[in-house]
A and B are shown apart, each in its own frame.
Chain A
């Protein structure tokens, strides 16, 4: 009895609090919470769509003298600005940073909707022209200020994914995988790149080609996005789309590594485990809390649902013909990052980032358009334990979406500098942000060889003298 008594007021309170909240939400024509669910097991609502799709575009505004907010004990600075749409980055063995700049996509506007929605969405993006180049940033004296800048390579067709291995820089443009020979300390490519393989690029509704490399340098993994939101350009054009390729770095031959990944916008190899992870952007226009973008380990041969189902085996009724046998084999992803957050960057952390953020991944979230209120527009951290996501995601860099509803910046790629810094590419402010533990990396002295080398930062160590950190 006592137990019951003590429980009753609680449930009553819950009902009293929830019912008006629900009514209010219904009255406002949307029961959408301010924050989207983040975690391993989202409670998925029923698909719904009104006559008008949600198109909540956050218009751009200048940063002025503001900066993104970072946790206590960390500081942030802009190390490069006036870039031409920076997307992904790569830290070279000597500490130089390569930035891929550009905008791709050549999908024809097939319907009146393509034209109208395309115009509305473009208002939330930068208006500068595509850079189509790689910019190299150098901090020669190790003071955290990247005073030198050069164009490493240009005239590339929307470069995006970057990887380093075998003494080479690999670049995934929107339709080809390229290799640049690299000598330590080089500030430009010197020679034209070698094409390793063509990549599917005919329509490129989702044009970003994510890239990472296996620990032994033998294989490259390329993420290829779908050619539509949900097959509205037809099934035929989805041949070789929404999948990850495993490409032999030597020969350029590829095999399909995993499928059903709608838009795998960033890939990363788990340090020490040779396990591929991806952040994937899921489908739109079936509700504010559908479908969560996710972080997942990618299993060889795995099928992750698109287009037939989402979050495992939830059938998407918009696809005809349906394929129940494919749905039955769909794998449920590991960790929901939130619906419509548009995760475009992922990077494994290192102990040099500080104890709280030593083990896990950083995720760059470009921010939503198909959700009201908007979400994303931040960099979050998903902690790992025993090699798996574990615990609550933590906001690492916020303030990209102002109180006034205007976007100051939109994070894309995130990259961990092994010396103890997180780099964030911002394709709205056209800026690279660098977030470091204040006064070096507390609690993780000399945790890696790279950190040990970087420690005497005051010494005028010549850039390019540091050997690869492995």
Chain B
């Protein structure tokens, strides 16, 4: 017996392309911070951790602007879908994690290690998850119509 296909995503107001650009930009910056942290942890070369500090700040610039935009966009009733709320929630979490990460990165020399690595992993995971929902991903497995 065939069940009728389930519509996995409801039609909703998609994110503005510029909004998508902003939130997408935060991802490589957080990822760069993580890679720089790894490089510092392996080499003790201080310049890597300087890079990481700035990359986190750069990521935060994009993430915070995207968050403000995302919150404002919730004003539109058609935007208030479950996916959008998950996206906004994850982006807000990313901003909190990013802020804490920048504080951790303000510790001098090796004092920030190894916790800076952990925070950077969390930031990358969180911005990745935000992007998943920003780009149309869902929590369910995608089903293809026959």
Contact = CB atoms under 8 A, between A and B. Distances in A.
Interface of A: 49, 51-53, 110-113, 117, 228-235, 285-286, 317-321
B116 to A, nearest CB: 12
B107 to A, nearest CB: 7
B108 A285 contact: yes
B12 interface: no
Given A112-B53, A112-B54, A320 B102 contact: no
Given A53-B107, A228-B108, A318-B111, 4 more contacts: A113-B105, A230-B109, A232-B108, A233-B46
Nearest to B53: A111
A51 B103 contact: yes
Given A111-B54, A112-B54, A113-B53, A230 B44 contact: no
Interface string B61-89: 00000000000000000000000000000
Contacts of A231: 46, 108-109
Nearest to A236: B46
Contacts of A51: 100, 103-104
A229 B108 contact: yes
B57 interface: yes
B50 interface: yes
Interface of B: 44-47, 50, 53-54, 57, 100, 102-111, 113
23 contacts: A49-B107, A51-B103, A51-B104, A53-B106, A53-B107, A110-B50, A112-B53, A112-B102, A113-B53, A228-B108, A230-B108, A230-B111, A234-B45, A234-B46, A285-B111, A317-B110, A318-B108, A318-B109, A318-B110, A319-B109, A320-B44, A320-B109, A320-B113
Contacts of A286: 111
Contacts of A230: 108-109, 111
A320 B103 CA distance: 20
A232 B54 CA distance: 15
B44 A111 contact: no
Contacts of B44: 320-321
Contacts of B113: 320
A233 B89 CA distance: 37
A232 B107 CA distance: 9
Nearest to B45: A234
Contact of A112 (B104, B106, B108): B106
A317 to B, nearest CB: 7
Given A112-B57, A231-B46, A234-B47, A52 B110 contact: no
